Chain A
Amino acid sequence: MMKSEELYMGKDQQKIIEVIQLFKTLTGKHVLKGFDLDLYDGECLVVIGKSGAGKTVLIRCLVGLMTGESGKVNILGKSIPDLNQKELDELRMHIGFLFQGSALYDSMSVRENLAFPLRRQKKIVTNKDALEKLIREVLASVGLEHAIDLMPEELSGGMKRRIALARTLILRPQIIFYDEPTTGLDPITAREIINLIGVIQKKYKTSSLIITHDLNIAKLISNRVVILVDGKNYAEGTYQDLKASNDDVIKAFF
């Protein structure tokens, strides 16, 4: 298996996420059994695995929503398990997270949903006009400027996903984590979301870590693909390399 820095075409880039031998047990079941992963600046890395393989647990460990029993998780040079709450909150300002179910705040309009992460960011938003401008700008990025006053229950599944993406963008994150971004969407909308992720990555110069079982994402926008099997990094490579593999386990994914 080739090393990740050899695989990624932007290998001169800085390593911004480093996961070393991460172990995590949930209700007595070993979910992650020494998982390793690297993400480079500007890279789009897709982690694929079967349902229940531990993909969501992995991404939750990365943002500090869960803590592994052992192993290292370094993001932007900071060790996640060693950060206190304040330091973690500061680091999270540089990380966007698109949840599987979009996780829009039901009681708030689209405008309020987008303004929410900026409540305490007086440096970014100095006044109401600046806030409005920023909200409209990110909404335009996802093509939903007209939805600014709608409530989440008035949005379709695809629109919710786009608004959730706009909410992650509003803090101008360096890294965006996507948890199953196309799950529950029809094929056409799913394709639109995949394209949007690619466009946003280029426009905002973010790095992306996408957790999915949708091979279209890996095929269309990934720089590198990691296959998560039995709690470990089973294989990694470009989509084409992995597709050409003769390994039965890898072939099962394609």
Chain B
Amino acid sequence: MNYWSYLRGQLKQFVLTVGDVSFFTGRFFKEALSPPVEFQEFLKQCYMVGYKSLPLVAITSLIMGMVLTLQTRPTLVDFGAVSLMPSMVGISIVREIGPVITALICAGKVSSGIGAELGSMRVTEQIDAMEVSGTNPFKFLVVTRIQATTVTLPVLVILGDAVGLWGSFLVENVKGSVSFTLFFNLVFDYLTYGDLIPSIIKSFFFGFAIGLIGCYKGYYAERGTAGVGLAANAAVVITSMLLFFIDFLAVLVADIFYEL
């Protein structure tokens, strides 16, 4: 009995949260489409989200490309299909691993950062101070951050893909003496726009989710400084789960187009 009532409570809470996030999303679009535009803050957030995440994304992507090659190579050698290595790695990175790993890295770094920053601003009344000074804090803080993550994540994904492929080339070059030109010719021989475009499109959605959840958890943080930690933590957990859900939907939709 208690178990069911607990489950009912959790379900109710989940539905209420989904409703809240939907309302928050609706407000984002309403505020984003109405003047004034906080362009300077948007640029600043692009710098904070994009440029400041670049080293982490680059290092992760480089290692990811190297590991992927190192782990796959022996099997392909056994089957005498090592020449397929660049194309296999290329398709894996561009279609799936690049966007998902980059988005997860950004969920950990950016979404939690936004959640903690806005949460801290909320509990120290900085958001209220903004409001009473006649500035719309939602537009200034939330809209600019969501726009910045949405715009910069695809760029990070493309750069991450490039670095990942370069990491793969480094390993392949050392192990198999493949030249740079040959490696990338093989990569691009098998890559099509059908691989690249869906991956870029889903990166926009990943970016939107990262900004949205980080802002939502931070903007409504409560219970003092403990609430800031909770907001940051919840932002990472929820965003990561949401990213996999969006990825599944994106693959499902892309698959429909492949079959057409």
Chain B binds chain A: yes
Chain A residues packing against B (C-beta within 8 Å): 60, 63, 65, 85, 89-90, 92-93, 95, 97, 99-101, 103-107, 116-117, 119-120, 167, 171
Contact between B120 and A106 (Cβ–Cβ < 8 Å)?
Answer: yes
Q: Is the CB of A117 within 8 A of B126?
A: no
- The residue in chain B whose Cβ has the minimal distance to the Cβ of A92 is B134
Q: Is the CB–CB distance between A65 and B36 below 8 Å?
A: no
Q: For the complex, give the distance between the alpha carbons of A202 and B120 in Å.
A: 35
A-B contact list, 29 entries, CB within 8 Å: A63-B132, A65-B128, A65-B131, A65-B132, A89-B136, A92-B131, A92-B133, A97-B129, A97-B132, A97-B133, A99-B125, A99-B129, A100-B125, A101-B125, A103-B126, A103-B128, A103-B129, A104-B126, A105-B126, A106-B121, A107-B117, A116-B135, A117-B133, A117-B134, A119-B135, A120-B134, A120-B135, A167-B133, A171-B133
A117–B130 Cα distance when bound, in Å, is 8
Q: How far is it, in angstroms, between the C-alpha of A154 and the C-alpha of B36 when the chains are bound?
A: 33
Chain A residue nearest in CB terms to B36: A120
Smallest CB–CB gap between A104 and chain B, Å?
Answer: 7
**In the complex, A60→B129 CA distance in Å?**
11
Contact A103 B134 (CB under 8 A): no
B21-51: CB near A (< 8 Å → 1, else 0) gives 0000000000000001000000000000000
Given A90-B134, A106-B120, A106-B124; 15 other pairs, CB 8 A cutoff:
A60-B128, A65-B132, A89-B134, A92-B134, A95-B132, A99-B125, A104-B126, A105-B129, A106-B126, A116-B135, A117-B133, A117-B134, A117-B135, A120-B36, A167-B133
Interface residues of B in 105-164 (CB under 8 A from A): 117, 120-121, 124-126, 128-136
Query: For B131, what are the chain A residues with a Cβ–Cβ distance below 8 Å?
Result: 65, 92
Nearest CB of A to B145, in Å: 12
CB-based nearest A residue for B44:
A107
B interface bracket (residues with beta carbon within 8 Å of A): 10 to 19
Which B residues lie within 8 Å of A116 (CB)?
130, 133, 135
- A211 to chain B minimum Cβ distance, whole angstroms, is 14
How far is the CB of A55 from the nearest CB of chain B, in Å?
15
Closest 3 CB pairs of A and B: A103-B129, A117-B133, A103-B125
Q: Are A99 and B121 in contact (CB under 8 A)?
A: no
Q: Which residues of A contact B117 (CB under 8 A)?
A: 107
Contact of B128 among A99, A106, A167 (CB under 8 A): A99
Task: Say yes or no: A93 contacts B134, CB within 8 Å.
Answer: yes
Instruction: Look across to chain A and name the residue whose beta carbon is closest to the beta carbon of B132.
Output: A97
Q: Which of A60, A93, A95, A103 contacts B124 (CB 8 A)?
A: A103
Q: Chain B residues near A101: list those with CB within 8 A.
A: 124-125
Chain B contacts for A90, CB-based, 8 A: 134
What is the chain B residue whose CB lies nearest that of A119?
B135
CB-defined contacts of A95 to chain B, threshold 8 Å: 132
Is there contact, CB below 8 Å, between B132 and A92?
yes
Determine how close the nearest CB of chain B comes to the CB of A74; give it in whole angstroms: 18
CB of A118, distance to nearest CB on chain B (Å) = 9
| Min C-beta distance of B61 to chain A, whole Å | 29
Q: Measured between C-beta atoms, what is the minimum distance from B146 to chain A in Å?
A: 18
Report A-chain residues with C-beta under 8 Å of the C-beta of B133.
92, 97, 116-117, 167, 171
Query: Closest Cβ of chain B: how far from A75's Cβ, in Å?
Result: 12
CB distance from A244 to the nearest CB of B (A): 37
List B contacts of A65 (CB < 8 A).
128, 131-132
- Contact residues in B for A92 (Cβ distance below 8 Å): 131-134
- Bound together, the chains give a CA A100 to CA B129 distance in angstroms of 11
A107, closest chain B residue (CB): B117
Q: Which residue of B lies closest to A121 (CB)?
A: B134
Task: List the B side residues contacting A117 at CB < 8 Å.
Answer: 133-135
Shortest distance between the CB of B41 and any CB in chain A (Å): 10
> Bound state CA distance, A92 and B133, in angstroms?
6
Minimum CB–CB distance from B142 to chain A (whole Å) comes to 15
Question: Which residues from A are CB-within-8-Å of B124?
Answer: 101, 103, 106
What is the CA–CA distance of A70 and B124 in the complex, to the nearest angstrom? 28
CB neighbours of A93 from chain B (8 A): 134
* Minimum CB–CB distance for A166 against chain B, Å: 13
CA of A97 to CA of B129 in the docked complex: distance in angstroms?
Answer: 8
